[in-house]
Structure 1
């Protein structure tokens, strides 16, 4: 294999890795507007209830548990029908959070499986593959310590989460490039070429199959989120004459606009 051919193979593999690791059409993005529904709040779901909170906007904090509602730390009067709706919202949030955690873990697993596959193809090094596994363990630990405890913060996920995967890929890139050049100049490039031919198609099939299954799981979650939005829309409660909005429509690419809105018209 020539130096040019080796560099081309390396470039294609790294490009493939980038797609697997971060393309929203391959694995669901971990963002609050994944379902074209957004929340301007951070969310905490635990045994004490459901908290929604943010640094600015009105209201800044919403809490509900067992049919009771508190807004900006003031207990609100709600109807019996609204108390039932609030219980359904709380139950839905409790059901949803572990499922979101599962999607996050699988999305991360797919991305790191792709990275590990590329590293193995390009280097044939078990040591370098183990390095990828350390990055995977860190990312999964991050998920378990946040989503896994019922906490979704705007600053925790989205770009902040994706950067963990991207950083792992970038840190491996320099090492991969050096490995390719070493194999070329030591006459071992044919081994890399053979590994690529043997592994690449199988890796693509496995990643695509898992990604398709993950997309279906994410779609099911979106159905549940829309059901919660419908329950919210049915609330009779008004804050200063306006509906209480915790979830709102947010077409992809319009999340910033949705965050700037605080309350909808009644």
Structure 2
């Protein structure tokens, strides 16, 4: 039973993008759209025709700009020469940003599925089962290539749906892995399984730690473009219904819960992850 729990724990940890480490040093890559402290309520399409932001709820529903022109809810707006320059800069920044976001997303998928296939290969000794994981990798990469790779950021695709797809892969793997582990225990190969588990722990640390740190560095570098976009947006003289036009906005602070910390007179604050 200890071996079953160990194998399952490995998969559950990897489903969050991190290998189990005794000192907790190996963390999952922080690659969410909230990393730069800014977010957008819009879906975004960036291509040679310009930048298009659209959503189903809220106003305005659509914003489009290209070569210094601005359209809001399909109505061309009058803008100053200074704003036209700012809009061109925003378009250039958005066009530079999107392929870099796609590359980071691909890197995140590769790290996750390298780890998952590594667990499957090491714990079952089955190349066939490891290749099955790689088929899911191809599907995830195809999803990125068909969206971000074409300059499109879709809130639905890269929100909970994408994470749930990875979780389903992990759940399928957990069932297969548990059956393999039980078979090894019942056939008297528990010692070999233990050796595999020890080796796996070291390999996963080596596999993920350096690559995750590099990917986080690249993801953080994207914030340069995001902050530049926000700066140009905030400088726009144009007003929508008397208010600044908001495409990027500060991320809402996470909810916090406060619990008493004994008699020390201080509060222990737990911050919920976004």
TM-score (ref. length: structure 1): 0.88
SS state at 1:118 partner: helix
RMSD, aligned CA: 2.0
CA distance in 2: counterparts of 1:252 and 1:207, whole angstroms: 29
Unaligned runs of 5+ in 1: 255-266
Q: 1:187-213 CA distances to partner (integer Å, 9 max, x unpaired)?
A: 222222222222321221220111101
Q: Quick one: structure 1 residues 130 and 140, their matched pair in 2 at CA, closer, same or farther if it must change by over 3 Å?
A: same
Q: Is the 8 A contact 1:43 1:52 kept in 2?
A: yes
Tell which has more relative contact order, 1 or 2 (C-alpha 8 A, sep 6+): 1
Distance 1:220 1:99 in 2: 10
After superposition, residues 94-105 of structure 1 pair within 5 angstroms as 94-105=95-106
Match of 2:4 in 1: 7
1:174: which partner in 2? 175
Contact 1:123 1:176 in 2 (8 A): yes
> Does the alignment pair 1:118 with 2:119?
yes
Measure the CA separation in 2 of the matches of 1:22 and 1:153: 29
Could you state the TM-score of these two structures normalised by the residue count of structure 2?
Answer: 0.86
Instruction: Give yes or no for contact 1:49–1:63 (8 Å, CA) kept in 2.
Output: yes
**Residue 195 of structure 2 is aligned to residue 194 of structure 1:** yes
Contact 2:65 / 2:91 at 8 angstroms: preserved in 1?
yes
- Give the aligned partner of residue 84 of structure 2: 83
Gaps of 5+ in 2: 21-26, 256-274
Contact kept, 8 Å, 1:21 with 1:115, in 2: the verdict is: no
* Partner residue in 1 for 2:250: 249
Distance 1:64 1:8 in 2: 54
Distance in structure 2 (CA, Å) of the matches to 1:22 and 1:197: 13
Which residue of structure 1 lines up, in the alignment, with residue 144 of structure 2? Answer: 143
Is 1:237 aligned with 2:256? Answer: no
Using the TM superposition, give the Cα deviation of residue 60 of structure 1 relative to its aligned residue in structure 2, in angstroms.
0.8
- 8 A contact 1:29–1:158 mirrored in 2: no
Match for residue 26 of structure 1 among 17, 25, 28: 28
- Cα distance in 2 between the residues matched to 1:144 and 1:60: 26
Shift >3 Å, 4+ stretches: 251-254
Q: Please say if residues 66 and 88 of structure 2, whose CA atoms lie closer than 8 Å, have aligned partners that are also in contact.
A: yes
The answer to whether the Cα contact below 8 Å between 2:147 and 2:153 also exists between their aligned partners in 1 is yes
1:17 Cα offset (Å): 2.0
SS at match of 1:57: coil
Find out whether 1:130 has 2:127 as its counterpart: no
The residue number in structure 2 matching 1:218 is 219
Shift of 1:132: 0.5
SS at match of 1:191: helix
Query: How far, CA to CA, are the matches of 1:15 and 1:57 in structure 2?
Result: 37
